[in-house]
């Protein structure tokens, strides 16, 4: 027989009674996120009573995604859509196709989206989706069928006013076009606002392709100004050279920086005097990797962390900077283009070494900011030109960075903790204002 807690006792279930995927000692990205939340609770004041809200996703949907393969067989893939928090608005977050994706990863990514959207103050909650598959082994027809089936399976919880997917790892504007069409066919009317990151001809926004990388550069330049680091002539190392790392690398090079090292799934290249970034981008577009770029020397992947640089941009996957390699990094500043690339233990090491870390929840928020612009434009059927998009993006990113920097200085905490203070305060204040129903 269950007992009602006595007056003054907590009704919150002890951690040991929670499902394993909600516990902080569960290894993986979700555990990292929970540690980040624990660090910010002491700064939340009266809102700390709502902190448990941040540790429990609102909704987790796991779906089977069966499709006909080209050879006549039927294959099954596991799909996810996690809505972490929707107190501030509909869920918002990308969809990734990757063979190693886990529920812990998708949960953490959804939670980081809640924080990210609140940091830049766009009216969204956090969500994320994924299918556990290597899309490179699928034909175009198989990829389309899988995308459409996955969209149909999660269609019960997504929608322009409910949850809006977007591109992420191994997904792009074509995937979003298929998702939009599938949702529209199932609902009986064209719903351009159900996804963002679409082709421009289907209601996509100008400037969306470069938005995340442009945001990385914008906050990086602002932070550099605060610590007296001159961008022109600085040395930059980039991990991941796609839409985020490639664009950020290009913008830093255009500002006079020397991109000396780049690493991606194909290997690591280095050039002491700086790589020719436009030529490297052309090479990556033609071959799919930095591997084989003639104007650079190849170095071992592990040597990437030893490169002498001023700015390091991890723009690949989660948990790349760990306690094992954090002590080797020579950069003065790390700009997290990827989601969750630095573990909490590594954060502590970097802070002790006075390495400034610009956390993912603000550094790579340019993408969701322009996704918000796209969503607004879809609803109004009025579209802005690219100069206006970029100007609005830069204004929001600079304002968000200034707010986070001020909180960090006032509380003498890292920029990550400061970003979480800003975001979690906004999320929980909204939760408190809305109350609990019923």
Judge contact between 53 and 436, C-beta under 8 A.
no
Q: Do the beta carbons of residue 80 and residue 103 sit within 8 Å?
A: yes
Neighbours of 49 (CB within 10 A): 12
Task: Tell me the H-state helices in 140-196.
Answer: 140-154, 173-187
At 43, list the tokens: 């700064």
Question: Which tokens belong to 137?
Answer: 């082994």
DSSP string covering 379-409, please? HHT----HHHHHHHHHHHHHHHHHHHHHHHH
At residue 16, what are phi and psi to the nearest 5 degrees?
Answer: -65, -20
C-alpha–C-alpha distance, residues 197 and 5, integer Å: 48
State the residue for tokens 């529209």: 184
Q: What is the length of the chain? A: 438
Return d(Cα 84, Cα 126) in angstroms, integer: 5
Distance CA 93, CA 117 (A): 9
- What letter does residue 51 receive in the DSSP assignment? G
What are residue 81's DSSP bridge partners? 61, 129
Q: What CA–CA distance (Å, rounded) separates 134 from 146?
A: 12
Catalytic residue, from 55, 116, 128, 250: name it. 128
Number of neighbours of residue 199 by Cβ within 10 angstroms: 14
Contact indicator for 150, 61 with CB cutoff of 8 Å? no
Residue whose structure tokens are 């209601």: 203
Q: Any catalytic annotation for residue 128?
A: yes
Q: Tally the C-alpha atoms within 13 A of residue 94's C-alpha that lie toward its C-beta.
A: 26
Q: Which residues are catalytic?
A: 128
């Amino acid at each position: 027989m269950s007992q009602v807690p006595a007056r003054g006792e907590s009704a919150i279930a002890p951690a040991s009674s929670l499902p394993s995927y909600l516990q902080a000692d569960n290894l993986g990205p979700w555990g990292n996120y929970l540690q980040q939340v624990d660090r910010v609770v002491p700064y939340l004041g009266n809102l700390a009573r709502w902190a448990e809200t941040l540790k429990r996703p609102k909704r987790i949907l796991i779906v089977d995604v069966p499709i006909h393969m080209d050879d006549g067989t039927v294959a099954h893939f596991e799909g996810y859509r996690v809505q972490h928090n929707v107190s501030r608005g509909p869920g918002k977050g990308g969809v990734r196709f990757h063979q190693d994706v886990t529920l812990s990863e998708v949960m953490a990514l959804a939670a980081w989206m809640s924080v990210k959207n609140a940091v830049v103050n766009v009216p969204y909650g956090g969500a994320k989706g994924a299918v556990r598959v290597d899309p490179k082994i699928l034909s175009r027809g198989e990829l389309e069928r899988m995308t459409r089936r996955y969209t149909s399976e999660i269609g019960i919880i997504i929608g322009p006013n409910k949850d809006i997917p977007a591109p992420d790892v191994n997904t792009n504007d074509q995937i979003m076009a298929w998702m939009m069409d599938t949702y529209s066919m199932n609902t009986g009317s064209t719903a351009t606002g159900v996804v963002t990151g679409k082709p421009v001809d289907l209601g996509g926004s100008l400037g969306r392709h470069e938005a995340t990388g442009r945001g990385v550069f914008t906050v990086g330049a602002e932070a550099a100004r605060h610590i007296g680091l001159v961008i022109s002539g600085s040395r930059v190392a980039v991990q991941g050279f796609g839409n985020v790392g490639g664009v950020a690398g290009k913008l830093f090079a255009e500002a006079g920086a020397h991109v000396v090292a780049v690493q991606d799934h194909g290997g690591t290249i280095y050039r002491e005097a700086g790589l020719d970034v436009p030529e490297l981008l052309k090479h990556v577009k033609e071959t799919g990797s930095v591997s084989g770029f003639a104007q650079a020397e190849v170095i071992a992947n592990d040597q990437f962390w030893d490169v002498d640089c001023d700015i390091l941009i991890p723009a690949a996957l989660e948990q790349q900077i760990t306690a094992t390699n954090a002590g080797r990094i020579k950069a003065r500043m790390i700009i997290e283009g990827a989601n969750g690339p630095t573990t909490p233990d590594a954060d502590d090491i970097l802070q002790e070494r006075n390495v400034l870390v610009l956390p993912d929840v603000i550094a790579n928020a340019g993408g969701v900011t322009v996704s918000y612009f796209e969503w607004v434009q879809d609803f109004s059927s009025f579209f802005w030109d690219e100069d206006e998009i970029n100007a609005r993006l830069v204004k929001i990113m600079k304002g968000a960075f200034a707010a986070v920097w001020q909180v960090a200085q006032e509380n003498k905490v890292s920029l990550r903790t400061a970003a979480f203070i800003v975001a979690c305060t906004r999320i929980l204040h909204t939760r408190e204002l809305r109350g609990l129903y019923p």
